[in-house]
Structure 1
Amino acid sequence: MDSLDLDVLRQALDWHRAGLGVWLVTVIETWGSAPRPPGALLCLARDGRVAGSVSGGCVEDDLIARLRDGALPDRPTLVSYGVTRDEAARFGLPCGGTLRLLQEPLADTGWLAELLDRTARHELVERRLDLASGVTRLAGRERGSGFAFDGRELRQPFGPGWRLVIIGAGQLSQALARMALTLDFEVICCDPREEYLVGWTLPGTRFSRDMPDDLVLALGLDAHSALVALTHDPKLDDLALMEALRSPAFYVGALGSRLNTRRRKERLALFDLDAAQIARLHGPVGLDLGALTPAEIAVSIAAELVAVRRGVALRQKKPDSAPLAA
């Protein structure tokens, strides 16, 4: 779930508490080149203010016009836009794009306040809306579960579906953590060194003083988890990398030159990791952007994380170190 959609829900709650009538609009299904995915949110206030988007085009304008005409529903209702090419052009959708939306008045905000409170504690939450009754209930969800709608019940995930563990709490780690938060990662920084504890003050992240390998084992990295080692200290990085490479984590990377990456792989081979596991290590970490500053290097790492998460070939990657000797 995009953090921007949580911002939409916060705005909806604020407007409702201010005494305004509020409607939530959710993208239910898309066909063709629709610009916003299922689950994307928009909210409308009675006075015409809007937060979020469902198309980035004229659909929003039409919804505002319907609001002003008093045509928005008083119960959860489905509506479609862009069914024909002419309508797609009228509503600013890409050629052939179609949106199916759910419009619902925001009456009960108890679930909304609870959802925002639970996601603020990094909980994974699923909203379940029964269309017939308009009743919403919240349930815990598994990491990786997605948006679903069967015609009767809406199941909408909220909370960080992805997790990034950063080993080391230096400048680069803080820059990467800020970017990862905007990319909807739950961020956990691990650094047992006393001198780095005071400097980590980034809101919205967790900080652990455990030994990195102990933390990796305790977290149980899954296929929606990533780990990046940034300390330059083999005593901290290598054991965490060893455990992460044995896990289903979708991304494992480590900062270092080609030479240091080769030496690291030689050390990892001593820990009873096989060649396939060691080959999963992204090193040198990040895409080749010519990055020099901590912020620029963080951009290169964040870009690689997104590319791997989306299954895109890493065409702009520095050549790896030479293969390990047999």
Structure 2
Amino acid sequence: MTQPPLPSRSGIAALIGRANAGKSTLLNRMVEEKVAIVSGTAQTTRNLIRAVLTDPRGQIVFLDTPGIHRAKEPLGRRMNKIARNAADGVDAALLIVDASAPPAMEDEGWIRRLLFSESHVLVVLNKDDLGGRHARAYRDCWERVAEEKGRDRRAEWHTVSALTGAGIPELMERLFELMPAGPLLFPPDVLTDYPRKLNIGDLIREQFFRRLREEVPHALAVRVENIEETDAGGGWNISATVYVDRHSQKGIVIGHKGRLIKKVREEARREVRKMYDRPVALELRVKVEPKWRENYWILRELGYA
């Protein structure tokens, strides 16, 4: 007799944690595709990004959230709110921590929240390739806060390196075990439901983040104005506006003799072409918009509100 097929498993897992813990790198590693932009600058992710992984074991919808940080303006506060809300009502909440650095205030804040979560909690000790010497400190922090709050709540602990892939297969196997039986939430060929314009804007912003330092990346945003399909070859002509806070930042973003923005345009065009598999022409213009991070209407245009 042939065995009946196993029931499909399908559910939602949220990646949460403080800024620069490696959530987006881990997400891309788990789905084996570039879904979220990555840079060495904290707070790179500004929106909630859904990535869908479907394989013979079932389907997991991953939520990549902005990193929790000390917010000073409406954009930062919105990013924190998105992250906190994403941890509620999911099948698995993955607290991603940087085990190469000691616990920070934001890590303890997440622990305090997750002690009362109804989701299955996994603490992922990331950056094991850097030694993971502070892993014990995170376990101690969990136990200390649980005792303080009178909560006999346990978490699963997984050690991984998003950079090398170490520990990822074991983590993925456990996540599929935790997903409830049920039909797929998305068609099997869907990788993400993130809007195309926002995704392309992120790919452009990623290239600026990789080349700029200090305060400029956080004062920069990209709005894709238009995606026009060409008659030949199914290519795209894309036009986008780069927002900055001050006139001095405009010169930095453009670079000496326009070299920086030219390099960004070429690298971003290459990334978009690679992701969408079609010819791309990209036009960028820089606009000074003082205090755009405090302007609701601009945040709305940028997809942040």
Given the two structures, how large is their TM-score scaled by the length of structure 1? Answer: 0.34
Q: Which gives a bigger RCO, structure 1 or 2 (Cα 8 Å, sep 6+)?
A: 2
Larger Rg: 1
Given the two structures, how large is their TM-score scaled by the length of structure 2? Answer: 0.36
